[in-house]
Amino acid sequence: MNSETKTHPELSDLFNKDEQRVDWHDQTLWWIRQKRDKSAHSIPEWEILREKASEIKNNALSNLADYLVSFEQKALANGIIVHWAADAQEHNEIVHGILQKHGIRKMVKSKSMLTEECHLNEYLEKQGLEVIDSDLGERIVQLAKEPPSHIVLPCIHKKKEEIGDLFHEHLGVPAGTSDPQILTEAARQHLRETFLTRKAALTGVNFAIAETGEFVVCTNEGNADMGAHLADVHIACMGIEKIIPKRKHLGVFLRLLARSATGQPITTYSSHFKKPRAGQEMHLVLVDNGRTIQMGREDFRASLKCIRCGACMNTCPVYRRSGGHSYNYTISGPIGAILAPNLDREKYADLPFASTLCGSCSNVCPVKIDIHQQLYKWRQVIVQEGYATSSKKMSMKIMNYTLSSPSVYRTAGKAGRWVLKYIPFAVNNHFNPWYKQRDMPDAPKESFGEWYKKNVK
Amino acid sequence: MSRDKILAALRQNQPESVPLPSSMPLVRVEILELQAKFKTVAEGIGSTVHLVDEFAAIQPLILARFAEEKRILSTIGELTALPAFELNSDPHTYANVDVAIFKSGLGVAENSALWLTEDQMGIRVLPFITQHIVILIPLSALVPDMHAAYQKIGEAEYDFGTFIAGPSKTADIEQSLVLGAHGPRSMTIFIYA
């Protein structure tokens, strides 16, 4: 898929061509949001938990350098080999170097948004290595040669019939298969063979504990464990912000993570890796890739508290109707839209505008990131730095002029109502982006200001 | 060096230190209430739960339930009629295990997760690679929530440990729940008094 140069509105247009699919996508994600609500409401202390999680993350970020040093020291003592990578390139080289040292050309990988962010698969494939993603959703998008469209539900945009076609082509299931049970079983057999034959496994990290040097990986499928416990070499990759101070803090985060993500009380597996198993080599790569810069931006630093549950996507009215691929960044949805501009303000200038600023994302965030306020702040930074499109700049100028003068505002209001009433075709046409997928409203007879003058003496 | 660069940048950019919050309060719940909660949650996520009055009742139930299965491994010495686990350091040799049986010393009522450490697993891969998993837990080892669970784990030393809640599962295809993604297709839990 070549979406390198397309903006969020352009990519959303593509997604919106199939209205039925948009409705289905919207409803599926809303259903997950409702499961999250049911799960959260079953915990009376839910809001206290969110507050604690937020405070623990604030503490972790404000002492991150010390916590990283402590974590490294403990992890080394536990027998884990620790690497530091300043950026995506260095991260990819480190992973490649480990594989080269062992003469390994094929690796199995479980879900890691960080390696997606670093484009590790493409990098290793260019070096002639093979990487197989083992999370079912990730394997599906890998076979389709697409990026994941959601951080927790990578193929949420795909219909089972399309997955059946992919599995027919690549895994040899009979044509026309679309039963999720049969498709999952086919993937199980295919990936079991993969797990049993790979000498290296790469996993992500959900939490790393400064106090003990252990790291925790959460999955429902068991794929991270199948890979790691069978391989001679386990490589775990994490962004530096994944550190939490103490083991007991896992109690807070594991209660929040799965409930926020899918409404489950906990993921099936929450595996605590402290030492390599006898005879195994365990590597851990700590990656910066822009995080230390984000740390220095007071308005945006809280985005580093994210635990990647995806709740903000499931609830977002824009994400649900535009699809994850419309964001054109590894992490889509509201959180992606505040993380992406940190890396490249020009390329991702449109993302903070892909929001209604309704605030639903901030309300469901388990670590209380002020997502919608950061979106609003990014807009100001982007316009000030001159990355906004010219139409956006022009409309902002006109808006500013209109709203700064009461008389211009009144005249513009009257003109608008007159147009909607007498010549609606002047706005009900494809030159008006607001008219796409929407009907224009009927014009009220008078403005609130006019009504007020008449009725309030 | 990237390590020093990253640490220096953090020391430059991270905000002034803020304190950690107080811990979540530990709640007390009556043991039979814990058992009822655990069972409801476990069954809700696809596990089968047996409540038995005495340990001796467990073995016949396992033998009956898995009579058809070929390779059964028990890591629990007291289950004398079941083949005992023997360590082979190559994890691949366990690829054909049908049933693996473990004993946990910590279960969490709010999410039905059972804590296993490497010494209780025999070998790390076993609870994941087996087609069916069975875990035994004494009633007295149930705690209400994850805060109590980590208080019980405390500073314990382990090389590897995991919470297991139910059979492995996925809903990646159109959100249809399928049990048996990569790991066990079923989970059977015995809570004994």
**pLDDT, tens digit, for every residue of A195-204?**
999 999 999 9
Calpha distance B126→B133 (Å, rounded): 9
A17: three-class secondary structure by DSSP: coil
Mean pLDDT of A33-62: 98
Split at pLDDT 50, 70, 90, the class of A1 is very low
Average pLDDT, chain B: 97
Taking Cα atoms as reference points, which of A151, A39, A52 lies closest to residue A368?
A52
> Are B183 and A269 inside 8 Å of each other by CB?
yes
pLDDT at B69 over 80: yes
B10 closest CB neighbour out of A55, A155, A292: A292
Angstroms from A433 CA to nearest CA on chain B: 32
pLDDT at A117 over 90: yes
User: Nearest residue on chain B to A87, judged by CA atoms?
Assistant: B2
Q: Is residue B40 part of a domain?
A: yes
B89: three-class secondary structure by DSSP: coil
ipTM above 0.95, yes or no: yes
Q: Is residue B89 part of a domain?
A: no
pLDDT at A70 over 60: yes
B108: three-class secondary structure by DSSP: strand
Split at pLDDT 50, 70, 90, the class of A405 is confident
> Are A155 and B172 inside 8 Å of each other by CB?
yes
Mean pLDDT of A122-149: 97
Binning chain A into helix, strand and coil, the percentages to the nearest 5 are 55, 10, 35
What are the distances in angstroms from CA B62 to CA A408, B35, B81? 82, 20, 10
Mean pLDDT of A92-111: 97
Q: Is residue B15 part of a domain?
A: no
* Residue in B1, B4, B5, B6 to test binding to A, most A beta-carbons within 10 Å: B6
Half-sphere exposure (CA, 13 Å, Cβ side) for B10?
Answer: 25
Contact A226, B129 (CB under 8 A): yes
Q: Is residue B154 part of a domain?
A: yes
What are the distances in angstroms from CA A384 to CA A295, A297, A338, A393, B75? 21, 16, 17, 10, 65
> Are B173 and A184 inside 8 Å of each other by CB?
yes
Which chain A residues contact residue B151 at CB under 8 A? 248
pLDDT at A114 over 60: yes
Greater model confidence, A116 or A415: A116
Is A270's Cβ below 8 Å from some Cβ in B? yes
pLDDT value of residue A388: 82
Mean pLDDT of A4-28: 91
Calpha distance A141→A304 (Å, rounded): 27
> Tokens at residue A180, please?
């999720």
> Are A250 and B150 inside 8 Å of each other by CB?
yes
Q: Is residue B4 part of a domain?
A: no
pLDDT at A2 over 60: no
pLDDT value of residue A4: 58
Q: Is residue B128 part of a domain?
A: yes
**For A253-300, what is each residue's pLDDT tens digit?**
999 999 999 999 999 999 999 999 999 999 999 999 999 999 999 999
Phi/psi region, residue A357 (left: phi>0; alpha: psi -120 to 50; beta: rest), is: left
Q: What stretch of H or E contains A199?
A: none
> Tokens at residue B79, please?
């289950």
Q: Is residue B12 part of a domain?
A: no
> Are A55 and B21 inside 8 Å of each other by CB?
yes
Taking Cα atoms as reference points, which of B110, B14, B114, B46 lies closest to residue A252?
B110
Neighbours of A336 (CB within 10 A): 25
B160 closest CB neighbour out of A52, A277, A296: A277
- Supply the range of the domain harboring residue B32: 28-83+95-169+176-192
The strand ranges marked E within B61-98 are 72-74
Counting the structural domains of chain B, the total is 1
Instruction: Give the position of tokens 């100028």.
Output: A397
Is B166's Cβ below 8 Å from some Cβ in A? yes
Contact A277, B124 (CB under 8 A): yes
Q: Is residue B9 part of a domain?
A: no
Task: Please give the radius of gyration of chain B, using alpha carbons only, rounded to the nearest integer.
Answer: 20
Q: What is the CATH number of the domain that holds B113?
A: 3.40.50.10420
pLDDT value of residue A398: 84
Split at pLDDT 50, 70, 90, the class of B48 is very high
Contacts of A414 (CB under 8 A, 6+ apart): A447
Mean pLDDT of A42-67: 98
Residues A384-392: contacts with CB under 8 Å, at least 24 apart: A385/A345, A387/A345, A387/A346, A387/A349, A388/A349, A389/A7, A389/A349, A389/A350, A392/A353
pLDDT value of residue B109: 98
Maximum alpha-carbon separation in chain A: 87
The DSSP annotation for A333-352 comes to HHHHHHHHHHH-TTTTTTGG
